[in-house]
Protein backbone atom coordinates (compact mmCIF):
# COMPACT_ATOMS: atom_id res chain seq x y z
CA UNK A 1 0.00 0.00 0.00
CA UNK A 2 1.32 3.46 -0.88
CA UNK A 3 1.87 6.02 1.86
CA UNK A 4 -0.82 8.33 0.47
CA UNK A 5 -3.36 5.47 0.49
CA UNK A 6 -2.37 4.64 4.06
CA UNK A 7 -2.87 8.25 5.17
CA UNK A 8 -6.33 8.27 3.61
CA UNK A 9 -7.15 5.02 5.40
CA UNK A 10 -6.05 6.55 8.68
CA UNK A 11 -8.31 9.55 8.06
CA UNK A 12 -11.20 7.19 7.31
CA UNK A 13 -10.58 5.23 10.53
CA UNK A 14 -10.65 8.43 12.59
CA UNK A 15 -13.65 9.82 10.71
CA UNK A 16 -15.78 6.73 11.32
CA UNK A 17 -14.78 6.23 14.97
CA UNK A 18 -17.43 7.10 17.59
CA UNK A 19 -14.84 7.45 20.37
CA UNK A 20 -11.08 8.10 20.67
CA UNK A 21 -8.93 5.36 19.15
CA UNK A 22 -5.75 4.21 20.85
CA UNK A 23 -2.51 4.17 18.93
CA UNK A 24 -2.09 0.37 19.11
CA UNK A 25 -5.67 -0.19 17.89
CA UNK A 26 -5.16 2.14 14.92
CA UNK A 27 -1.81 0.58 14.07
CA UNK A 28 -3.31 -2.90 14.15
CA UNK A 29 -6.27 -1.88 11.97
CA UNK A 30 -3.90 -0.41 9.38
CA UNK A 31 -1.31 -3.20 9.61
CA UNK A 32 1.54 -0.84 10.48
CA UNK A 33 3.91 -0.33 13.39
CA UNK A 34 3.12 2.07 16.22
CA UNK A 35 6.12 4.19 15.23
CA UNK A 36 4.80 4.49 11.67
CA UNK A 37 1.37 5.46 13.00
CA UNK A 38 2.83 8.30 15.08
CA UNK A 39 4.71 9.57 12.01
CA UNK A 40 1.54 9.41 9.91
CA UNK A 41 -0.47 11.34 12.49
CA UNK A 42 2.25 13.99 12.60
CA UNK A 43 2.19 14.22 8.79
CA UNK A 44 -1.60 14.63 8.71
CA UNK A 45 -1.44 17.32 11.36
CA UNK A 46 1.18 19.19 9.34
CA UNK A 47 -1.19 19.06 6.37
CA UNK A 48 -4.02 20.57 8.42
CA UNK A 49 -5.90 17.59 9.79
CA UNK A 50 -7.51 18.46 13.14
CA UNK A 51 -6.51 15.31 15.04
CA UNK A 52 -6.74 15.57 18.81
CA UNK A 53 -4.99 13.25 21.25
CA UNK A 54 -1.63 12.01 22.40
CA UNK A 55 0.08 8.61 22.89
CA UNK A 56 -1.61 6.75 25.73
CA UNK A 57 -4.77 8.88 25.50
CA UNK A 58 -6.19 7.97 22.11
CA UNK A 59 -6.83 9.99 18.95
CA UNK A 60 -9.96 11.46 17.42
CA UNK A 61 -10.90 13.80 14.60
CA UNK A 62 -12.15 17.14 15.84
CA UNK A 63 -15.68 18.01 14.70
CA UNK A 64 -15.90 19.88 11.42
CA UNK A 65 -12.85 18.40 9.70
CA UNK A 66 -12.70 15.46 7.31
CA UNK A 67 -11.00 16.42 4.08
CA UNK A 68 -10.50 19.69 2.20
CA UNK A 69 -13.73 20.64 0.42
CA UNK A 70 -14.19 19.25 -3.08
CA UNK A 71 -16.16 20.93 -5.83
CA UNK A 72 -17.69 19.17 -8.82
CA UNK A 73 -20.09 20.23 -11.53
CA UNK A 74 -23.46 18.41 -11.49
CA UNK A 75 -22.41 16.34 -14.53
CA UNK A 76 -19.10 15.37 -12.90
CA UNK A 77 -20.84 14.37 -9.70
CA UNK A 78 -23.42 12.26 -11.54
CA UNK A 79 -20.66 10.52 -13.51
CA UNK A 80 -18.80 9.64 -10.28
CA UNK A 81 -22.00 8.48 -8.63
CA UNK A 82 -23.05 6.26 -11.52
CA UNK A 83 -19.57 4.79 -11.88
CA UNK A 84 -19.32 3.90 -8.19
CA UNK A 85 -22.83 2.42 -8.12
CA UNK A 86 -22.14 0.38 -11.25
CA UNK A 87 -18.87 -0.97 -9.82
CA UNK A 88 -20.62 -1.95 -6.60
CA UNK A 89 -22.95 -4.15 -8.67
CA UNK A 90 -20.70 -5.52 -11.41
CA UNK A 91 -17.31 -6.07 -9.83
CA UNK A 92 -15.91 -8.56 -7.33
CA UNK A 93 -16.62 -7.91 -3.62
CA UNK A 94 -13.26 -6.23 -2.94
CA UNK A 95 -13.69 -3.74 -5.80
CA UNK A 96 -17.35 -3.21 -4.94
CA UNK A 97 -16.41 -2.30 -1.36
CA UNK A 98 -13.67 0.01 -2.63
CA UNK A 99 -16.22 1.79 -4.84
CA UNK A 100 -18.52 2.37 -1.87
CA UNK A 101 -15.65 3.55 0.34
CA UNK A 102 -14.47 5.98 -2.33
CA UNK A 103 -17.99 7.34 -2.76
CA UNK A 104 -18.35 7.79 1.01
CA UNK A 105 -15.03 9.62 1.11
CA UNK A 106 -16.02 11.97 -1.71
CA UNK A 107 -19.46 12.54 -0.19
CA UNK A 108 -17.99 13.45 3.21
CA UNK A 109 -15.80 16.12 1.64
CA UNK A 110 -18.53 17.77 -0.43
CA UNK A 111 -20.23 21.05 0.48
CA UNK A 112 -23.71 20.56 1.91
CA UNK A 113 -25.58 21.38 -1.29
CA UNK A 114 -23.63 18.83 -3.32
CA UNK A 115 -23.94 16.23 -0.56
CA UNK A 116 -27.71 16.63 -0.82
CA UNK A 117 -27.43 16.11 -4.59
CA UNK A 118 -25.67 12.79 -3.99
CA UNK A 119 -28.18 11.64 -1.37
CA UNK A 120 -31.21 12.50 -3.51
CA UNK A 121 -29.89 11.56 -6.95
CA UNK A 122 -32.44 9.99 -9.26
CA UNK A 123 -29.77 8.10 -11.24
CA UNK A 124 -29.93 4.45 -10.23
CA UNK A 125 -28.13 1.26 -11.18
CA UNK A 126 -30.52 -1.71 -10.80
CA UNK A 127 -29.29 -4.61 -8.74
CA UNK A 128 -28.09 -7.48 -10.90
CA UNK A 129 -29.34 -11.02 -10.59
CA UNK A 130 -26.24 -12.77 -9.24
CA UNK A 131 -27.70 -16.16 -10.14
CA UNK A 132 -27.82 -15.00 -13.75
CA UNK A 133 -24.37 -13.36 -13.77
CA UNK A 134 -22.34 -14.59 -10.77
CA UNK A 135 -19.10 -12.92 -9.75
CA UNK A 136 -16.15 -15.16 -10.52
CA UNK A 137 -13.94 -15.79 -7.46
CA UNK A 138 -10.74 -15.10 -9.43
CA UNK A 139 -11.63 -11.55 -10.43
CA UNK A 140 -9.52 -10.19 -7.56
CA UNK A 141 -6.32 -12.12 -8.42
CA UNK A 142 -6.82 -11.24 -12.09
CA UNK A 143 -7.12 -7.54 -11.24
CA UNK A 144 -4.02 -7.75 -9.05
CA UNK A 145 -2.05 -9.44 -11.82
CA UNK A 146 -3.03 -6.66 -14.23
CA UNK A 147 -2.14 -3.96 -11.71
CA UNK A 148 1.27 -5.44 -10.86
CA UNK A 149 2.00 -6.61 -14.44
CA UNK A 150 2.66 -10.21 -13.43
CA UNK A 151 2.29 -13.45 -15.33
CA UNK A 152 -0.38 -15.97 -14.37
CA UNK A 153 -1.16 -19.55 -15.28
CA UNK A 154 -4.76 -19.84 -16.42
CA UNK A 155 -6.69 -23.11 -16.30
CA UNK A 156 -9.42 -22.60 -18.86
CA UNK A 157 -12.23 -24.28 -20.79
CA UNK A 158 -13.18 -22.93 -24.20
CA UNK A 159 -16.72 -22.63 -25.59
CA UNK A 160 -16.64 -26.34 -26.53
CA UNK A 161 -15.58 -27.35 -23.02
CA UNK A 162 -12.03 -28.23 -24.03
CA UNK A 163 -9.55 -27.66 -21.17
CA UNK A 164 -6.22 -25.90 -21.58
CA UNK A 165 -3.48 -24.43 -19.44
CA UNK A 166 -1.97 -21.12 -20.52
CA UNK A 167 0.76 -18.87 -19.20
CA UNK A 168 -0.48 -15.38 -20.02
CA UNK A 169 0.36 -11.72 -19.50
CA UNK A 170 -2.93 -10.10 -18.41
CA UNK A 171 -3.19 -6.40 -19.17
CA UNK A 172 -6.91 -5.50 -19.33
CA UNK A 173 -10.33 -6.68 -18.21
CA UNK A 174 -13.65 -5.60 -19.73
CA UNK A 175 -16.80 -5.63 -17.60
CA UNK A 176 -19.84 -6.41 -19.73
CA UNK A 177 -23.37 -6.82 -18.39
CA UNK A 178 -23.14 -10.58 -17.97
CA UNK A 179 -19.51 -11.45 -18.60
CA UNK A 180 -16.02 -10.29 -17.70
CA UNK A 181 -13.45 -10.69 -20.46
CA UNK A 182 -9.71 -10.78 -19.84
CA UNK A 183 -7.31 -9.51 -22.52
CA UNK A 184 -3.81 -11.00 -22.39
CA UNK A 185 -0.75 -12.01 -24.34
CA UNK A 186 -0.70 -15.80 -24.55
CA UNK A 187 2.74 -17.43 -24.47
CA UNK A 188 1.34 -20.62 -26.01
CA UNK A 189 -0.18 -18.86 -29.05
CA UNK A 190 2.37 -16.03 -29.17
CA UNK A 191 -0.50 -13.64 -29.78
CA UNK A 192 -3.21 -11.68 -28.02
CA UNK A 193 -6.12 -13.71 -26.72
CA UNK A 194 -9.36 -13.00 -24.88
CA UNK A 195 -10.67 -15.20 -22.05
CA UNK A 196 -14.11 -15.11 -20.51
CA UNK A 197 -13.79 -15.09 -16.74
CA UNK A 198 -16.73 -17.48 -16.30
CA UNK A 199 -14.81 -20.12 -18.27
CA UNK A 200 -11.74 -19.89 -16.05
CA UNK A 201 -11.40 -22.91 -13.77
CA UNK A 202 -8.54 -21.62 -11.62
CA UNK A 203 -5.75 -19.04 -11.56
CA UNK A 204 -2.17 -19.50 -10.38
CA UNK A 205 -0.45 -16.17 -9.73
CA UNK A 206 3.26 -16.03 -10.52
CA UNK A 207 5.83 -13.73 -8.96
CA UNK A 208 7.46 -13.09 -12.35
CA UNK A 209 6.65 -9.81 -14.04
CA UNK A 210 6.02 -9.96 -17.75
CA UNK A 211 8.83 -8.38 -19.78
CA UNK A 212 6.83 -5.75 -21.64
CA UNK A 213 5.16 -2.75 -19.94
CA UNK A 214 1.38 -2.95 -19.77
CA UNK A 215 1.03 0.33 -21.67
CA UNK A 216 2.96 -1.14 -24.61
CA UNK A 217 0.81 -4.27 -24.63
CA UNK A 218 -2.37 -2.20 -24.67
CA UNK A 219 -1.00 -0.09 -27.52
CA UNK A 220 -0.08 -3.13 -29.63
CA UNK A 221 -3.37 -4.85 -28.82
CA UNK A 222 -5.36 -1.75 -29.82
CA UNK A 223 -3.52 -1.51 -33.15
CA UNK A 224 -4.20 -5.18 -33.84
CA UNK A 225 -7.91 -4.79 -33.06
CA UNK A 226 -8.14 -1.81 -35.37
CA UNK A 227 -6.40 -3.63 -38.23
CA UNK A 228 -8.73 -6.62 -37.90
CA UNK A 229 -12.01 -4.73 -37.57
CA UNK A 230 -11.39 -1.52 -39.56
CA UNK A 231 -12.73 0.52 -36.66
CA UNK A 232 -9.94 3.10 -36.70
Indicate the residue among 119, 154, 186 that finishes a domain.
119
The pLDDT of residue 13: 86
Does residue 105 fall inside a structural domain?
yes
- H helices within the chain, ranges in order? 3-16, 23-30, 34-46, 74-90, 93-108, 112-119, 139-148, 214-229
202, 203, 204, 209 alpha-carbon torsion, rounded to 10°: 170
146 and 214 in contact (C-beta within 8 Å)?
yes
Does residue 124 fall inside a structural domain?
no
Q: What is the pLDDT of residues 183-212, one digit of tens each?
A: 999 999 999 999 998 899 999 999 999 999
154 and 104 within one domain: no
The pLDDT of residue 6: 82
Q: In terms of Cα–Cα distance, which of 195, 154, 152, 147 is closest to 171?
A: 147
Higher pLDDT, 229 or 103: 103
- Quick check: pTM over 0.85? no
Does residue 216 fall inside a structural domain?
yes
Considering the chain, what is the average pLDDT of its residues?
Answer: 83
d(CA 167, CA 189): 10
Q: Is the pLDDT of residue 231 over 50?
A: no
φ and ψ of 109, to 5 deg: -100, 0
**CATH number reported for the structural domain that contains residue 208 in this entry:** 2.30.30.520
Provide the CA 19 distance to its chain's centre, in angstroms: 29
Q: Is the pLDDT of residue 221 over 50?
A: yes
80 and 17 within one domain: no
The pLDDT of residue 113: 65
The pLDDT of residue 134: 56
79 and 51 within one domain: no
222 and 157 within one domain: yes
The pLDDT of residue 7: 83
209 and 174 within one domain: yes
Q: What is the pLDDT of residues 61-113, one digit of tens each?
A: 876 554 555 667 778 888 888 888 888 777 678 888 888 888 888 887 777 66
Q: Is the pLDDT of residue 41 over 70?
A: yes
The pLDDT of residue 131: 53
Least confident of 13-22, 124-133, 148-157: 124-133
Residue 169: enclosing H or E segment and its boundaries?
Answer: strand 163-175
d(CA 225, CA 125): 30
d(CA 169, CA 186): 7
108 and 83 within one domain: yes
199 and 169 within one domain: yes
**CATH number reported for the structural domain that contains residue 33 in this entry:** 1.10.10.10
* Domain coverage including residue 203: 139-229
Q: Which of the four pLDDT bands, split at 50, 70 and 90, describes residue 232?
A: very low
Amino acid sequence: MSRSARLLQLLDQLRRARQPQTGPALAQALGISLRTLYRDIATLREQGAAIAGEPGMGYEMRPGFVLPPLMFTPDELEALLLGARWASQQADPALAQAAQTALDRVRSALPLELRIEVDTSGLLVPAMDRADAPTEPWQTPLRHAIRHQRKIVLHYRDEKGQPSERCIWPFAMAFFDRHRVLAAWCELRQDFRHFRADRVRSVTALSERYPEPRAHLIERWSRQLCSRTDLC
